[in-house]
Structure 1
């Protein structure tokens, strides 16, 4: 009888081992998170070789051995039975909050590590949710449905973003779905409470019933998540601060080069300005104008909408703004990436009106022009930004400025 029982246990153990070995046999070596939900199962490969601290945090929470977790969560698989509490179609699904409110934590915050190769550039990416900066991460994560580059830690030019400043999004990508992308899509489409009021909680709970960590290969099996987290996490913020200093020095050097390029280009512009200043029309307000080119088009009536090209210069010829790519390239050596992303290198829309939201001299000068005109405007400071200046000192107080405006068309 004992022998039969022993034989049964041995057979059961062999079956269990065989079952474990057969778990997702098609997966390559690596560490994976099997996210079992009441909508289906997703499997994500975790980038433990590129962001070991963030992966270690996630794995240790999932396996119930995180060294910093609150006492009430110790020894328990943290993610089991939690929900995806925030679901936004064409954006992402977010989970990992024990309170399901968006404000819950596992009892600590940490600085997530990041890697320049890991970007929010496709669907199915796992990334850390946080409340701003790199050091406010906890247990919450999200899975992308579409590319979302504004969440990256690096900007489009590969420069480190100022993650410690308000309203700057910096999130660490740490995994990618290799199975179940259709499950992510189905979850993102569930009915939510009130999207107009920014309440994106599902009407019916989407539950993570189990979150299992799967290790394939010797390197993955030797990844000691609690140890990695404890030993490497304190270094992350120091590394980020070092990168910040490096980025600051790089930005200062780039700004110095921009200023030198602008000053050089400004020399040529100053020669033109000196010529234009010999033939100026002065208006009662103090605005001075010179027509570089006279067009043959109609003059827009008050209230008309027009399209313009413009250049804004200091009186020494240096540029401070333009909607023309060739002008900014000449003066700065490059285009402004923020202006590129916002589509600002295109004709400017302006309503010919005293209420137009531009400085007084600009709208007064534009109101004198006809389609096809290109004019040089010399604005005394009281028709520009006056005693206050602008841009935190970028336009100095009491600065006279120059605009070159070309009126392109009247918009019907």
Structure 2
């Protein structure tokens, strides 16, 4: 994983996630995932698991603090952590993500102003190479594609949970990127990208933190 910046009025950091697989044979996999937006837009997801440890005001688990990875990324891939990350974003910097899949490259503008904790978590994991080589394990045409689980089953996560940063009703659109969850304040590593009207009509129960450009 590498990061690059370009000269713009507001500095930009592009987070490269490595290669994620997006294959047609996976289209029906993981439809019963534990950490997912409900296919019925009126549903709110499954029952949340109890989070361990103590949390600060932002919802971060502080029982065993972790450190920010270097901006250029870590040498080794890390997929499990003792607690949620500290704030690692640089103030005044515009963040974006480049997701390379076997179906092409996707660039996402991240909403560090609207959802700083969620973007921080995403960048933290990407810099640890957390997302490298994983799949979009849940693909539902007309709804969304979901990834971010190193296990590829829909039940995996980074070992911690953090609080929601929910949008207003009606903010989801095709191309929106939001956190999958198992209930209120159960965000971890899994995310989804809205690909159709069923995703657009979801209730505002999922932290919206980026949009495909």
Question: TM-score normalised by the shorter chain: which range applies?
Answer: 0.5 to 0.7
Question: After the TM superposition, which residues 9-408 of structure 1 pair with which residues of structure 2 at under 5 Å, given as runs?
Answer: 20=4, 29=12, 30-64=94-128, 77-116=129-168, 119-120=171-172, 122-133=173-184, 135-147=185-197, 148-153=199-204, 170-178=205-213
Q: Which protein is richer in helix relative to its size?
A: 1
Give the deviation of 1:113 after TM superposition: 1.4
Q: Is the CA contact 1:118–1:173 (under 8 Å) kept in the aligned structure 2?
A: no
Give the deviation of 1:98 after TM superposition: 1.0
Structure 1, unaligned stretches of length 5 or more? Answer: 1-19, 65-76, 154-169, 179-412
Give the deviation of 1:149 after TM superposition: 4.7
TM-score, structure 1 as length reference: 0.29
User: CA offsets per residue over residues 223-264 of structure 1, 9 Å max, x none?
Assistant: xxxxxxxxxxxxxxxxxxxxxxxxxxxxxxxxxxxxxxxxxx
Q: Distance in 1 between matches of 2:126 and 2:170?
A: 22
Q: Distance in 2 between matches of 1:32 and 1:56?
A: 11
Q: Which residue of 2 aligns with 1:292?
A: none
User: CA offsets per residue over residues 63-104 of structure 1, 9 Å max, x none?
Assistant: 12xxxxxxxxxxxx1001111000000000000001111111
Q: Which residue of 2 aligns with 1:160?
A: none
**Change in CA separation of 1:98 and 1:125 when aligned onto 2, cut-off 3 Å:** same
**Change in CA separation of 1:28 and 1:151 when aligned onto 2, cut-off 3 Å:** farther
Q: Distance in 2 between matches of 1:141 and 1:118?
A: 19
Return the index of the structure with the highest Cα Rg. Answer: 1
Q: Distance in 2 between matches of 1:95 and 1:172?
A: 15
Q: Is the CA contact 1:109–1:138 (under 8 Å) kept in the aligned structure 2?
A: yes
Residues matched between the structures, number: 128
Give the deviation of 1:151 after TM superposition: 2.6
Provide the aligned C-alpha RMSD in A.
Answer: 2.5
Structure 2, unaligned stretches of length 5 or more? Answer: 13-93
Q: Distance in 2 between matches of 1:100 and 1:177?
A: 22
Q: Is the CA contact 2:165–2:208 (under 8 Å) kept in the aligned structure 1?
A: no
